[in-house]
Structures are given as structure tokens and as C-alpha cells.
């Protein structure tokens, strides 16, 4: 947990940052992946585990599989960030590249599953994964039971739905806010429409938030989350740099979305105690948003 008087003064609230960027595999997804993999019976784990992922969940699953001493097969789109591909390899994941479409990812995963018998562990649309992600909020409230609100980024919804379940279960009156890029705002649109609105052509630096909500995560978010705050790409970059500069923490764009949402909603958070989940820190250092390219 990290705090900053400087950021508190800028925001007008008391902020408590949950540093999942310092988590194993550099991302909160280590929680859900380990929970799901360690819950498998020996028979279920016999063929290993499998997923399709743009990076963070794949690395986390590879790490969890290494702990369990079983193989991990990771289908990765060809345009995934090199730093995230390196993480998957570092933890022993068996990578298969595919075209960067959901159909291609699912087809490759289905083929590998039929060939190996590996157990599919979805990045977010899985009860064990959702429960594991919720432990970050559980720890936040164990340390600071007087929080008034928790902010978490939302892509597929595993972290946000797990956060809401844990937070509301411990403290029903707490506010839970989701943070989403305006260029990938399917969660905000889905809540407004009252039905699942698939992601179409997401445009954001926050590569971890380009996925659509799942049929498990959407109802949970609809029932438990108080609001979704959308932020611009400019705000995302500014707040990423702000955290690097003031907190001296390496966070990725998806984490910066949560920080930007706090400042976007600062009028409603004035004087409150707010937990902010910094979801991850896996970033390509030569692709930082504030670096000018020719």
C-alpha cells in the first residue's frame, strides 16, 4: 500500500494505492490465475492449463502452472506487446501466436485443447478467477476498513466484479467505481443500455482494457458497481506520468485509467478515503505515452 500527501492535495481526497504492479508477474491477474489453477483436482490438471491472452493473464497463468508443475499453453495475438510476450516466456508458458482477432484466438485455443486435454482458464469469465481477483479489495479493506470508495479499472470485468463482491460483502455502504478508457467504453455503454454491449474497435493505449465484459462479469457489475467513470487518452497519459513522477512506481496504462478516474470524479470524492487499485506494471519502456516520436 502506498500513499501520497501530494496526490491527496491535488485530488482533495485521501488516497490509498493498492500496488498490484508489484504483484508476482507484475499484475493483479496472478491472484485469479493462482486461485483457478490451485483449485483444480489432479485429474483436471493432468493435461495442463490453457488460455488466450494479450499478455498479462497469459503470464500469470504460466506462473501459476509452474507453481503447480503442469504445462501452460498460451495463445497470443501477433500484435501483443513484446514485454508481455517476454513475461509469458519467462514463466515457462508455451506460446502459440495467432491473428489478432477473437475468432482466431478462440479457434487456436479450441484446437490446442483438443490436442492436449488442457483445462481452459478464461482471463475473466471464470468464477475462480473472479474470486481470486477480489482478494486485492479484501486486503485493502482489511488494512483500511474505513474506506468510503474503491476504484478499479475494467476491461473484461474480472477485477471489477471481484472487487465489488468483496467490498460490498464486507461493507455494503462502500462505493465501488469502475474506470474505463473512453475509447473502449463497453462497460459504460452496457450499464446504460441494460444489456451486454460487445466491444467494437477499441482505441486506447490501455491494452489490458480492450476486452469486452463477459456473461458472468456483466451481471455482477450491473448489480454491485455504483458507476463507471470514463477517461480520455490524454488523461490516461497524464496520470500515468504523474504516478511515475510522484509515487516513483512503474504502472502500465491500464493502471493509469484508475488514477485518472479518481481525478475525473474528484468532486464526488472530496474529503473521502478512497482505495485505488493499480492493476499492473508491465509496460514497454520505449512506448511510453509521453515520449515524442518522429
- Supply the residues annotated as catalytic: 29, 54
16 and 275 Cβ atoms separated by less than 8 Å: yes
DSSP letters, 243-255, are: HHHHT-----HHH
Round to whole Å and give the CA distance between 124 and 91: 20
Round to whole Å and give the CA distance between 294 and 282: 24
Q: Which three cell numbers stand for residue 189?
A: 455503454
Instruction: Please state the φ and ψ torsions of residue 17, each to the nearest 5 degrees.
Output: -95, 120
For residue 19, list its beta bridge partners: 278
Round to whole Å and give the CA distance between 97 and 270: 46
Amino acid at each position: 500500500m502506498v500513499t501520497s500527501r501530494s496526490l491527496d492535495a491535488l485530488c482533495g481526497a485521501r488516497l490509498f494505492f493498492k500496488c498490484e504492479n508489484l504483484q508476482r508477474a507484475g499484475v493483479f491477474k496472478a491472484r485469479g490465475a493462482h486461485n483457478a489453477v490451485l483449485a483444480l483436482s489432479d485429474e483436471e490438471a493432468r493435461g495442463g492449463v490453457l488460455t488466450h491472452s494479450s499478455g498479462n493473464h497469459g503470464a500469470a497463468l504460466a506462473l501459476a502452472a509452474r507453481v503447480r508443475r503442469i504445462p501452460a499453453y498460451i495463445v497470443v495475438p501477433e500484435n501483443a506487446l513484446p514485454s508481455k510476450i517476454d513475461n509469458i516466456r519467462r514463466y515457462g508458458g508455451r506460446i502459440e501466436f495467432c491473428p489478432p482477432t477473437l475468432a482466431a484466438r478462440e479457434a487456436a485455443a479450441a484446437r490446442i485443447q483438443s490436442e492436449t486435454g488442457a483445462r481452459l482458464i478464461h482471463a475473466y469469465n471464470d468464477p475462480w478467477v473472479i474470486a481470486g481477483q477480489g482478494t486485492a479489495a479484501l486486503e485493502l479493506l482489511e488494512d483500511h476498513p474505513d474506506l468510503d470508495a474503491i476504484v478499479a479499472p475494467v476491461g473484461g470485468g474480472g477485477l471489477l466484479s471481484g472487487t465489488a463482491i468483496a467490498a460490498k460483502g464486507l461493507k455494503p455502504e462502500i462505493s465501488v467505481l469502475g474506470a474505463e478508457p473512453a475509447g473502449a467504453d463497453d462497460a459504460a455503454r452496457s450499464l446504460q443500455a441494460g444489456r451486454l454491449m460487445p466491444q467494437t474497435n477499441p482505441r486506447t493505449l490501455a491494452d489490458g482494457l480492450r476486452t469486452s465484459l463477459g456473461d458472468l462479469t456483466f451481471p455482477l457489475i450491473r448489480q454491485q458497481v455504483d458507476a463507471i467513470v470514463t477517461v480520455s487518452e490524454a488523461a490516461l497519459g497524464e496520470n500515468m506520468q504523474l504516478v511515475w513522477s510522484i509515487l516513483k512506481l512503474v504502472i502500465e496504462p491500464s493502471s493509469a485509467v484508475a488514477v485518472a478516474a479518481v481525478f475525473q470524479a474528484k468532486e464526488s470524492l472530496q474529503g473521502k478515503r478512497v482505495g485505488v487499485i493499480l492493476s499492473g506494471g508491465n509496460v514497454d519502456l520505449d512506448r511510453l505515452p509521453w515520449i515524442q516520436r518522429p
